[in-house]
Amino acid sequence: MKVFFSEDHRRHFPQAELSGGQFVTPYERPSRMEYILRRLKERGLTDITDPGAADMAAIRAVCAPDFLEFLETIWGEWKAAGNAGEVIPYNVPVRRMQQARVPRNVDGKAGYYCLSQETAITGGTWAAALSSAASAQAAMRHVAGGARAAFALCRPPGHHATADMYGGYCFLNNAAIVAQMLRDTGAVRVGVLDIDFHHGNGTQDIFYGRGDVFYASLHGAPEDAYPYFLGYADETGTGAGEGANANYPMPPGTGYGPWAEALDQALARLKAWGAEALVVSLGVDAFKDDPISFFRLDSPDFTDAGRRIAGLGLPTVFCMEGGYAIEAVGINTVNVLEGFQDA
């Protein structure tokens, strides 16, 4: 399986994340990629290619223009305003506040586009986010050219980003960009399968009113897990998208048995719906030792999950998302890819 990866991901490395009431080193950090790359090479998956520049037209097909301008310019504005540290907004719009106007003040502007405040922006964030999207785009082009599958080793991840908000470590929604590219190049119906522990609220939001992209997600129940405010089972789409959204929320302590049952149900829905191509938001934070998750999957379970996904028989683009048990992130990620390849 060909892998697409950019070293420019290193340009995004916030020094702080707000967690448990204090600032800590972010769980989403550059070293995650080193463990995955090492495991890929150990297992003979050495066809690793730099993706080149991002296709901005394809990004604009998913993201709001003002949001893209914000991501590109906020660091300069933040520093020009005299802020010494990274972009972490103090205020965000909440219920019954004005949400239709973008503030002029730089903190207000950052808060307007932010959906969760654990995610900081640095001087290199925009370049890193573009390189992450470029990896996803290159993987999509490889699959559209006839390959069975490709792996986009994306960092920063993407599935929490909406068309006009960032957060959850995500800035550009790589999976959504790939799904739209697949649609634009001829696939009538595209499936997005999200196996990250956290619900991909951004991907759901982007496609919720559309009937041409089916979004299915396995994740921690939103009563107990980030992002809290989306991911319930009764969220099934709206308008043209009614019936094209399937959430499988599960409680703390969920092991592979019930998780695999939910995976099989999601795959059956995608097949019955008639998906012609598949995008997998490949998070491996359902692992039993992940520090910010509560499922109980073990490393061999990810191999079996890959086999099950391969059973759909669809051209597949894997986009890297979460997974924060650093010592195991490479093993678990590559297990999914090998399970898929060997099926």
- Residue 32 Cα distances to 13, 70, 84, 155, 253, angstroms: 12, 27, 27, 9, 24
For residue 207, give the nearest of 181, 188, 179 by alpha carbon. Answer: 179
In contact, 194 and 217? CB cutoff 8 Å: yes
Three-state SS at 242: coil
Give the H or E element holding residue 194.
Answer: strand 190-194
CB atoms within 10 A of CB 313: 10
Given 9, 12, 159, 160, the catalytic residue = 160
CB atoms within 10 A of CB 342: 10
**Alpha-carbon gap, residue 260 to 302, rounded angstroms:** 10
In contact, 280 and 320? CB cutoff 8 Å: no
Tell me, yes or no, if 160 is annotated catalytic. yes
Say which DSSP state 8 is in: G
* CA 3 to centroid of chain Cα atoms: 17
**Alpha-carbon gap, residue 187 to 12, rounded angstroms:** 33
Three-state SS at 149: strand
- Residue 262 Cα distances to 76, 250, 285, angstroms: 45, 9, 16
Q: Where are the alpha helices (DSSP H) in the chain?
A: 31-42, 56-60, 65-80, 106-113, 125-144, 174-184, 201-207, 256-273, 299-310, 326-342
Beta carbons within 8 Å of 340's beta carbon, 6+ residues apart: 1, 149, 306, 307, 309, 310, 316, 318
In contact, 318 and 280? CB cutoff 8 Å: yes
Catalytic residues: 160
